[in-house]
Structure 1
Amino acid sequence: MPATSLQEPSSVRLGLKENWQQFSLLLLINAFVGGMVGIERTVVPLIGANEFHVKSTVLITSFVISFGVVKALANLVSGQLADRLGRKRVLVAGWLIGLPVPFMIIFAPSWEWVIAANVLLGLSQGFAWSMTVVMKVDLVGPKGRGFAVGLNEFAGYVAVGLTAFLTGYLASRYGLRPMPIYLGVIYGIAGTILSILAVRDTRQHVQLEASRAANPASALSFREVFVLASFKDRNLLAASQAGLVNNLNDGMSWGIFPLFFTTLGLGIERIGVLKAVYPIVWGVGQVVTGPLSDRWGRKGLIVGGMCVQAVGLLITALGGHFGWWLVGSVLLGAGTAMVYPSLIAAVSDASHPTWRARSLSVYRFWRDLGYAIGALSAGLIADRFGFSAAIVAIGVLTFMSGTFYLVAAVEAKNPA
């Protein structure tokens, strides 16, 4: 029995134009996926500090650590599950797992409940977001891959930013709970219904692309793909470490930026603005940087983007007022927009269609492990030396990661 109802082989075609309806549906679904993360960007660290009176920065950022570790592991198995069970089943499973998350945050009697909710959120995101990426890459084929990934991440991270702003606005008027978190209930129900009723699987698109591939498929085990994507292939190694550091600085900003800005006297609504600008610039920018990576190549955008991120972090740490922090947020978003779709496309370029889903899952494992490493390391540094020192340290590491990619990676001759 097939995992899902598939199109007849004669009707399967590759390309964005040819698959625009399913592609657009997956964009909307990924916006709901991003919104589920956005409900936490502004208010959850403040819930820990203000409602549960958690004093340690490491303990407050533990919700990001639990999210990052679980999401990384879910990413690692999502590609294997997608190849065995079908993309749609994994997508639906991700939504069903994520449905309890907003309710657990709303009714949490202790901080441990919030941490537990983020275990489920990490598992949900690892399945649902991974599948929206993989299915769009499946649909468009080798041409325009960067554009497809850019649109996917645009939808997800604009939703993260808008939701971060809305939760900050609602929290400033109605309190940290429950009103801001109701947005997550709406996202969860809508995303689940659409995924079950409207999404079609894309495995036959993979088979079609594989049949046209110039190089024959290699029969690689999951272990072999993991070793190749993590250590053996220089392009995949460079991409994995850059992805890890990219999300390392995002995990740091998620966990400690609200606390940092609070100590400097900002109110929740203005913190919400700063927390919204970063992912909105990140999301919108990818509509431009994704296609540019198809035309110009991936390497320059990745190296340049890591450097722009580093500058944004340094400005945030050393700037003394809202205007500088706004500039830092814009630069952090712009740099991430340059890096994010380019890295996913670079991994896709270096992977055969028959094991691309597994290769992307390994890359996303290392990338999203950065959430946990960033939150933990920033929390430890902040507890010992202060928030500014933690942000500067992560900024320096981000610059070093871009330098490593410059030296290690070899540009694909024809990315598109």
Structure 2
Amino acid sequence: MRGSADIRLGLRANAAQFTLLVTVNALVGGLLGSERTVLPLLAEREFHLAAYTAALTYILAFGATKAVTNFFAGTLSDRYGRKPVLVAGWLAGIPVPLMIIWAPGWGWIVSANVLLGVSQGLAWSTTVIMKIDLAGPARRGLAMGLNEAAGYLAVATTALVTGWLAAATGLRPAPFLLALAYAGLGLGLSSAFVRETRGHAHLEAATHTGRAEHHHGPSTGRIAALTSWREPALASASQAGMVNNLNDGLAWGLFPLLFATAGLSLTQIGALAALYPAVWGLGQLLTGPASDRYGRKPFVVAGMLAQAVALAGFAAADSFAAWAGAAVLLGAGTAAVYPTLLATVGDVAHPAWRARAVGVYRLWRDGGFAVGALLAGVVADLAGIRAAVAVVAALTTAAGLLAWLRMYETNPARRPHAERYDGSRRRPGPA
């Protein structure tokens, strides 16, 4: 273990470890992406699930489990270190593709997605926390842009490749053998080469002044309250993140079925399933660092409203070209929001309790998968897929307007005299 004299903050000083963690998070995203094209069609064609609510139970199970795991990932990372939590995440992910390959019934698929939620909650949360640790305060938006870009470009690439594999060889097992390779490689890299980063958070915390009793942070319950509703910027990030992933759960579970009803081929469905996260992933390379320069709030508000317009486009379209245009806009809106919300949490939360704040934020954000699966499934069963998409578009509009009204600018470069919030006082209103 390195001494404190050897620890430095910043992307340049930690380039090798940061690059390794980007690679690891790409593998985390690839494991998730193996389901995006194939699993909705597997539900319909092999397990003959006619009701949308039943077909989306795997997303509900994934989202609920991942949300809860995110919460504990932050606490465990603070208590035991980042690396053990990352390795545990990969251990939970290894059985997932095997269970899907061998599944004799839909219950196996749901159970596999419970494990996938545990895996993603531990592994993705920890790579986020570790990159925030390494980057320090100056380039936090860039760090989150790189992290999320790697993950969602891998989601996109894997969704495209698994569409090709399914078209060529069938829905099982080939697409999930790729997922198994991702999990094995991720476990190996994380175990052998990733180094602990908790010391970097301690170093950053030592540079911030505050009341002595808060050097270890407020209680976990108080952090949950601050991040969920009491602190305006943290709460705004949590609600926007939840609606953002509600949208993603809808796209994951229902869009392939919507495209199939229009007669699109598996290859075309795979291309559309890949286009949205591809734009999302690439866009974050621009929006993350741009939020370091221009502020977080404009990207959050504009991104949520752009997603709303894109969803309305999905509800109205009926051709590959029109859906492709809507997918590009949805990806761009999501790219504006995703790294910026994580950077917002990093801006506001003190380093002593930042990992737990990230965990609470991701609890709400990934809870959106479960809410989206339940809401979209019920509305789709009652009124059809297009009605479900329209309802979610309206919710997304409301989320963007709420962020505009309540969120204040958190970027230290845009608020040069703002203090980091230590949890001991009420944050003043928007500046």
For the criterion TM > 0.5, the same-fold answer is yes
* Map of 2:367 onto structure 1: 369
Corresponding letter in the other structure for 1:186: A
* Map of 1:106 onto structure 2: 101
Distance, in Å, in 2 between the alignment partners of 1:149 and 1:412 is 15
Identify the match of residue 237 of structure 2 among 224, 236, 239: 239
Identify the match of residue 26 of structure 1 among 18, 21, 26: 21
Corresponding letter in the other structure for 2:332: A
Identify the match of residue 121 of structure 1 among 113, 116, 121: 116
**Shift of the alpha carbon at 1:216?**
4.7
Do the aligned partners of 1:86 and 1:203 also contact (CA within 8 Å) in 2?
yes
Distance, in Å, in 1 between the alignment partners of 2:183 and 2:211 is 41
* Map of 2:140 onto structure 1: 145
**Shift of the alpha carbon at 1:195?**
0.3
Corresponding letter in the other structure for 2:18: F
**Shift of the alpha carbon at 1:381?**
0.4
Number of aligned positions between the proteins: 411
SS at match of 1:40: coil
* Map of 1:292 onto structure 2: 290
TM-score when scaled to structure 1? 0.98
* Map of 1:170 onto structure 2: 165
Corresponding letter in the other structure for 1:396: A
**Shift of the alpha carbon at 1:415?**
4.6
SS at match of 2:202: helix
* Map of 1:332 onto structure 2: 330
SS at match of 1:200: coil
Identify the match of residue 380 of structure 2 among 362, 382, 386: 382
Do the aligned partners of 1:349 and 1:415 also contact (CA within 8 Å) in 2?
no
* Map of 1:360 onto structure 2: 358
* Map of 1:11 onto structure 2: 6
Identify the match of residue 97 of structure 1 among 79, 84, 92: 92
Corresponding letter in the other structure for 2:346: S
Corresponding letter in the other structure for 1:304: A
* Map of 2:344 onto structure 1: 346
1:189-231 deviation per Cα after TM superposition (whole angstroms, max 9, x unaligned): 0000000000000011011101111445624111111011111
Do the aligned partners of 1:47 and 1:176 also contact (CA within 8 Å) in 2?
yes
Distance, in Å, in 2 between the alignment partners of 1:371 and 1:71 is 9
Corresponding letter in the other structure for 2:242: L
Do the aligned partners of 1:307 and 1:335 also contact (CA within 8 Å) in 2?
yes
Once the two structures are superposed, the pairs formed by residues 176-325 of structure 1 within 5 Å of their partners are 176-216=171-211, 218=214, 219-325=217-323
**Shift of the alpha carbon at 1:267?**
1.2
1:95-125 deviation per Cα after TM superposition (whole angstroms, max 9, x unaligned): 0011000000001000110000000000000
Question: Percent identical across equivalent pairs?
Answer: 51
Corresponding letter in the other structure for 2:102: F
1:69-111 deviation per Cα after TM superposition (whole angstroms, max 9, x unaligned): 0000000111100011100000000000110000000010001
TM-score when scaled to structure 2? 0.94
Distance, in Å, in 2 between the alignment partners of 1:397 and 1:236 is 19
Corresponding letter in the other structure for 1:201: E
**Shift of the alpha carbon at 1:319?**
1.2
Distance, in Å, in 2 between the alignment partners of 1:341 and 1:66 is 25
Residues 408 and 108 (structure 1 numbering): CA distance in 2 closer, same or farther, change over 3 Å? same
Do the aligned partners of 1:75 and 1:130 also contact (CA within 8 Å) in 2?
yes
Corresponding letter in the other structure for 1:283: G
Do the aligned partners of 2:67 and 2:365 also contact (CA within 8 Å) in 1?
yes
Distance, in Å, in 2 between the alignment partners of 1:238 and 1:24 is 30
Distance, in Å, in 1 between the alignment partners of 2:292 and 2:396 is 24
Do the aligned partners of 2:233 and 2:410 also contact (CA within 8 Å) in 1?
no
Q: Aligned-residue CA RMSD in angstroms?
A: 0.9
Corresponding letter in the other structure for 2:234: L
Between 228-237 and 147-156, the greater mean CA deviation after superposition: 228-237
Distance, in Å, in 2 between the alignment partners of 1:281 and 1:215 is 41
1:310-358 deviation per Cα after TM superposition (whole angstroms, max 9, x unaligned): 1111111101211110001001100000000000001111100000000
**Shift of the alpha carbon at 1:9?**
1.1
Corresponding letter in the other structure for 1:18: A
Corresponding letter in the other structure for 2:359: S
Distance, in Å, in 2 between the alignment partners of 1:375 and 1:183 is 26
Displacement over 4 Å in runs of 4+: none
Unaligned runs of 5+ in 2: 415-431
Do the aligned partners of 2:344 and 2:411 also contact (CA within 8 Å) in 1?
no
Identify the match of residue 82 of structure 1 among 49, 56, 77: 77
Distance, in Å, in 2 between the alignment partners of 1:126 and 1:168 is 25
Between 308-317 and 67-76, the greater mean CA deviation after superposition: 308-317
1:275-300 deviation per Cα after TM superposition (whole angstroms, max 9, x unaligned): 00000100010010000000000000
* Map of 1:410 onto structure 2: 408
Distance, in Å, in 2 between the alignment partners of 1:414 and 1:240 is 20
Distance, in Å, in 2 between the alignment partners of 1:412 and 1:275 is 33
Distance, in Å, in 2 between the alignment partners of 1:174 and 1:413 is 49
